[in-house]
Structure 1
């Protein structure tokens, strides 16, 4: 089975930006570049606003109650981002698919990337593979990219914290 990395990269970027929202257009551009996005245009404050709207919509999908609600919210996001797929080889990066119109500003690119990437991730790996960390005081959103599809925590740190908490609770009862 081949898993589409387009979905994985997109949901991981969405989670990263949602969990620690960029505070400026410059920070948004830097973090997108660090994630491997090729930026073809100058990033503006309008892009930051559109990116925040994309993140708000994406977090609604993360927090959806049940598969149908998740699908409905994602379908709304996809409808807003709709463009036909096209082949591109911009800046010598090799041929690949873009699910957006050419020459879009970064905010719109991110909206489309998050919508399509999340759809590919959820349909390819399972509708349950987008969630928040199970540690009570942690509200971090993450995409479950594990082989088994049973990831419950956003990080090893939170998994360890919860294991220690469970161990201490058991020890206190003895």
Structure 2
């Protein structure tokens, strides 16, 4: 997976895995490959555990109540994942940057990917662009990648559901 200047691919993978936690090594493998992540070694149960820990840390960043708290939590993730950036080229992908040491197991790669990708997303688009859906019955985490930066819902379905609820509440008052 390549990190674009906004960290969109990595932060969206973090949201996807956080919202629907992988249940097995095979599921983690399949979902990472489907997201375009190049796996350098077989995925293990330790990777699944480390991925879950990375998701726990990432969700704390999502749920932070202010910019400074969000930055502090993300800085802790970045410090834990710290490695020098390095140029690399996988067969057929061209040159790109990795923000991790070579030959890391998938769990560590995901931790680094979530930390760096989220940091790039937030500094590039705004510290407020990571949240949970505003629909009462939905707790889905998402990265706001909208042009305007005012996305409030995880999906159009939740936006429509909330609009209908507000319309019915107004109609009941009249």
The answer to whether TM tops 0.5 is yes
CA distance in 1, matches of 2:78, 2:13: 17
Q: Any stretches of 5+ residues in structure 1 without a counterpart?
A: none
Could you tell me which residue of structure 2 aligns to residue 26 of structure 1? 26
CA contact (8 A) 2:5 2:124 kept: no
Q: Any stretches of 5+ residues in structure 2 without a counterpart?
A: none
- Kindly indicate whether residue 150 of structure 2 is the aligned counterpart of residue 113 of structure 1: no
State the secondary structure of the residue aligned to 2:39: coil
State the secondary structure of the residue aligned to 1:88: strand
TM-score when normalising by structure 1: 0.97
Once the two structures are TM-superposed, the CA of residue 6 in structure 1 deviates from its matched residue by 5.9
Could you tell me which residue of structure 2 aligns to residue 127 of structure 1? 127
Q: Deviations over 1:73-94 (max 9, x none)?
A: 0000000000000000022311
CA contact (8 A) 1:4 1:124 kept: no
What RMSD in Å do the two structures reach over aligned CA positions?
1.1
CA contact (8 A) 1:15 1:141 kept: yes
TM-score when normalising by structure 2: 0.97
Could you tell me which residue of structure 2 aligns to residue 99 of structure 1? 99
Q: Which runs of 4+ in 1 moved over 3 A?
A: 3-6
State the secondary structure of the residue aligned to 1:89: strand
Could you tell me which residue of structure 2 aligns to residue 83 of structure 1? 83
- The number of residue pairs the alignment matches comes to 172
Once the two structures are TM-superposed, the CA of residue 173 in structure 1 deviates from its matched residue by 0.5
CA contact (8 A) 1:28 1:48 kept: yes
Following superposition of structure 1 onto structure 2, how do residues 34-113 of structure 1 map, counting pairs within 5 Å? 34-113=34-113
